[in-house]
Amino acid sequence: MDEGQLVLIPLCRPNISTADIEAVTEVLRSGMLVQGSKVAQLESAFCDYLGVKHAVAVSSGTATLHLALVALGIGAGDEVIIPALSYVATANVVELVGATPVFVDVKTEDFNIDTSKIEEAISERTKVIMPVHEFGLCSEMDKICEIARRHKLQVIEDAACALGATQNGNFAGTMGRVGSFSLHPRKAVTSGEGGVLTTDDDKLAHSFRVLRNHGIETRDGKMEFISAGFNYRMTDFQAALVLGQLGRFEANLSNRQEQANFYRSALVDHPAYVTPMEFPDRRHTWQTFHLLVNNELDRNGVMNELRAQGVGSSYGAQCIPAVEFYQQKYALDSAKLFPNALRAFKSGLAIPLFDGLSKEENQLVLRGLEAVAAQLRQRTSLI
Ligand SMILES: *Cc1c(COP(=O)(O)O)cnc(C)c1O
């Protein structure tokens, strides 16, 4: 495939208005670039939107997860239960604090942790369950919180992809002890790089604020260095980029749902693709529209052919125990232990769905998918 081929419809494009750009340049002109009033505004906007007591903005989604584990005192000898299917950052942060990730397979219905398999993964070393709300759809948080209560475990929600997603009317990132959001450009609201931690716990929120800023606590106007912290601060011009997007976010969800409805109804009985499911107790935000490519089709081949048709796409998420580092370190047999995560890693296909994508463009994506399936099937049957 020609690498220089022009992709006409990208997988994703951030929703940035002229006013958002002006908000950024205003901060740049002020000369006050680091964490300041815009970061504070972003934090209170998150609190208002999600109905949480505290929101703490940091430099990335990975930093939010890392800080959550550090603030909860998770370290060597501890185990953290995570789904086998996610972005590698979910497992990397567990490694970074010296703890051990314990993988649980996902369900193919929602691509989230299989709650019926969590309890068999709990040991006396388990401290945290860290569910991931994949692709903008909540995990079964009611079940996860109930298991955590029974076994006295903490819940950190990796809601990196799931701003605005709900289960039983509760927002993702507000049901566990800590919620973690990413503001990377692949997510629905972006600061370039950035992340937000949410919690109702005053002490934890204070720890997050201290740890993101070199371990500094301000007492009576005096700075005290109370722990070995990080520099995980967000800049004010990044925060300024987010405020407008967050204000428009809810209003754009209905358009995202319309796009998802279009793809789902057009592809529901398609022999080449398996469409994502919806659940009456959960609101999907469609951060990613994620299909499974039928077993006899090669997903990477589909991606290359789509690119030739001018349609951007990507695989969905990683079967983390099967990537090089985790395979070498833990030598787990993913085909046996995590068949659903492995299938999604090999056959998952994310297709364009973002704010501002037109009906005509949705049609072009669909036509691309149909043409590719027809071509590849013809080629397969010739072999
Ligand atoms: C994007 C993502 C992250 C990492 O967020 P960054 O802001 O890129 O560091 C972590 N977990 C999940 C599930 C993600 O999708």
Quick: pLDDT tens for 305-334: 999 999 999 999 999 999 999 999 999 999
CA distance 35 to 237: 9
pLDDT for 3 beyond 80: no
What pLDDT does 146 receive? 98
User: By the 8 A CB rule, do 332 and 321 touch?
Assistant: yes
Overall pTM surpassing 0.85 (yes/no): yes
**What is the pLDDT confidence band of residue 249, given thresholds at 50, 70 and 90?**
very high
User: Is residue 133 within 6 Å of ligand 1 at its C-beta?
Assistant: no
Q: Largest Cα–Cα distance in the chain?
A: 78
- 333: number of CA atoms within 13 Å, CB side? 3
Closest CA to 156 of 271, 257, 45, 71: 71
User: By the 8 A CB rule, do 256 and 285 touch?
Assistant: yes
For a ligand 1 pocket test, name from 64, 96, 112, 182 the mutation site with the most ligand atoms within 8 angstroms of its C-beta: 182
Residue 261 CA, ligand 1 centroid: distance in Å: 26
Instruction: Locate 336 and state its tokens.
Output: 């046996």
CA distance 85 to 326: 13
For a ligand 1 pocket test, name from 161, 178, 230, 234 the mutation site with the most ligand atoms within 8 angstroms of its C-beta: 161
- Percent helix / strand / coil, the chain, rounded to 5: 45, 20, 40
What pLDDT does 127 receive? 98
Classify the C-alpha dihedral 315-319-320-321 as positive or negative. negative
What pLDDT does 380 receive? 67
Instruction: Look at the block and give the residue holding tokens 């107790």.
Output: 281
User: Is residue 283 within 6 Å of ligand 1 at its C-beta?
Assistant: no
Instruction: Locate 361 and state its tokens.
Output: 């463009």
Residues 335-343: what's their mean pLDDT? 98
What pLDDT does 1 receive? 46
Ligand 1: nearest atom to the Cα of 62:
9
What pLDDT does 379 receive? 73
- 210: number of CA atoms within 13 Å, CB side? 19
Secondary structure (3-state) at 289: strand
pLDDT for 383 beyond 60: no
Residue 177 CA, ligand 1 centroid: distance in Å: 19
pLDDT for 84 beyond 50: yes
CA distance 351 to 339: 23
User: Is residue 50 within 6 Å of ligand 1 at its C-beta?
Assistant: no
**What is the pLDDT confidence band of residue 215, given thresholds at 50, 70 and 90?**
very high
What pLDDT does 377 receive? 74
Residue 363's H or E segment, with its range, is helix 359-382
Ligand 1: nearest atom to the Cα of 193:
7
pLDDT for 190 beyond 50: yes
User: Is residue 62 within 6 Å of ligand 1 at its C-beta?
Assistant: yes
What pLDDT does 376 receive? 77
- The DSSP code for 188 is S
pLDDT for 42 beyond 80: yes
Helices 299-308 and 359-382: crossing angle, nearest 10°? 130
Distances (CA, A) of 62 to 29, 93, 197, 201, 275: 29, 7, 11, 21, 29
Beta strands in 72-221 (DSSP E): 79-83, 85-86, 100-104, 126-129, 154-158, 166-167, 170-171, 178-182, 195-199, 216-219
pLDDT for 382 beyond 60: no
Q: What average pLDDT does the structure give for the chain? A: 96
For a ligand 1 pocket test, name from 85, 184, 318 the mutation site with the most ligand atoms within 8 angstroms of its C-beta: 184
For 10-34, the pLDDT digits (tens) are 999 999 999 999 999 999 999 999 9
- The DSSP code for 366 is H
User: Is residue 132 within 6 Å of ligand 1 at its C-beta?
Assistant: yes
For a ligand 1 pocket test, name from 69, 87, 319 the mutation site with the most ligand atoms within 8 angstroms of its C-beta: 87
Which residue has its alpha carbon closest to ligand 1 atom 5? Answer: 61
Q: What percent of the chain has pLDDT over 70?
A: 97
Classify the C-alpha dihedral 138-140-146-148 as positive or negative. negative
CA distance 133 to 125: 24
Residues 273-297: what's their mean pLDDT? 95
Residues 187-209: what's their mean pLDDT? 98
What pLDDT does 381 receive? 65
